[in-house]
Amino acid sequence: MWASAFPAIRVSLVAYTPTEVAFLRYLVASAVLVIYAIIYRMPLPRLRDFPAIALCGFVGFALYNIALNAGEMTILAGMASFIISSEIGIIALLSWLFYGDRLGRAGWLGVLSCIVGVGIISFSTGSNFQLSSGVLLVFVATLAISIYSVMQKPLLQRYNAIQFTTCAIWSGTIFLFFFTPNAVFSVIDKPIYPTLAIAYLGLFPGVVAYVAWSYVLSKIPASQAGSYLALIPIAALLISWLWLKEVPQPISLLGGAIVFSGILLVNRRNERE
C-alpha cells in the first residue's frame, strides 16, 4: 500500500498543493479513525504522553508529508520511493544511537550504501547533474519518517498499534490544518480524479499501512522492522511505470540499485542477529 502512495501523490498534485494533499489525506484518515474510536470505545492516552504523541504526529505526518509532497512536484514517484526507502539505513543508525541495537560491518556498509545511492539520485535528477531541490525535500521527509519510527518505539510499549497511530494521525492532522486552513473548501472546484487519489491515500496508505507498521514495531526491534520495507521502492517503480508511464534515467536507476543494495545489507545484518 505504501508503494502505491508515491504515484497517487503525483496524481493528486495535478490539482492540489503539497500542503492541501497532506491535510486532506489525513483528514480522511482522521475521520475513519474517529468512527473506529467511537465504535470500539478507544481510550485516550495518558495526559503525560500527549506531548510525545503530538511530536510524533508532527514529525511523522505533518513534516513528512509536506516535505514528500513538495519533493514529488519535481521528481518521479519511483525515485522518491527509493530515497524514502533509505530510511531503513537511517532507522538502523538511530536504533544504534538510542537503543543500543548492533549495526556490525554489514549494517554500517548498508547505511553508507543508502547515503551514496541517495546522493547519486540527487545529482542525476537535477539539471546538468546539479543537486536537485526535490530530492533534498524528499530526504527531509526520509529523516522525518525515520525519526518517527524510532520515537514511537517506547510509546508502543504502553499503547497498542491502533491506539497510538490514531492519536498520532489526529495530532498530525491538527498541525497540518494550520498550514492550509481553507483546503476543505478548495475541493469543490477540483477535478474528481485527483480528489479520489487523495481519498485513497487517506484510507489505505494513510490508515491501514501505518497501523500495520506500528503493530510490527511493537513486536520486533525497529532496525529489524525496517528491513521489511525493502520491496516498497521496487513495487513503487513498477506501479509508477504502469500508472503514470514514468521511466527514470539510467543513472537514477543506478542510484536506486545502490540504495537497494544497502537495504539488503541491513537486512542481512538483521538475519545474522
Q: What is the mean pLDDT of each run of 10 residues along the chain (273 residues)?
A: 92 97 96 94 94 97 97 92 87 85 82 86 60 87 94 90 92 96 91 96 87 75 64 87 88 86 75 51
What confidence score (pLDDT) does residue 124 get? 67
CA distances for 31 relative to 68, 197, 251, angstroms:
22, 16, 42
Return the pLDDT at 11: 97
Which pLDDT value is given to residue 162? 86
Contact 211, 161 (CB under 8 A): yes
Q: Do residues 228 and 216 touch, judged by C-beta distance below 8 A?
A: yes
- At 271 the pLDDT is 52
Instruction: Specify whether the CB–CB gap between 224 and 149 falls below 8 A.
Output: no
Place of cell 547505511: 111
Q: Would you tell me how many other CB atoms lie within 10 Å of the CB of residue 272? A: 10
pLDDT at residue 260 in the model: 86
255: cell is: 542510484
Please provide residue 41's backbone torsions phi and psi, each rounded to the nearest 5 degrees.
50, 50
Q: 175-204 in b/e burial notation, b at 16+ Cβ within 10 A? A: bbbeebeebeeeeeebeeebbebbbbbbbb
pLDDT of residue 77: 92
Domain boundaries, the chain: 2-37+45-272
Model pLDDT, residue 193: 96
Provide the pLDDT for residue 220: 73
Cell 554489514 found at: 106
**CA–CA distance, 38 with 56 (Å, rounded to integer):** 23
Check residue 208 and give its pLDDT: 84
Distance separating alpha carbons of residues 127 and 130, to the nearest angstrom: 6
pLDDT at position 224 is: 64
- How much is the pLDDT for 106? 82
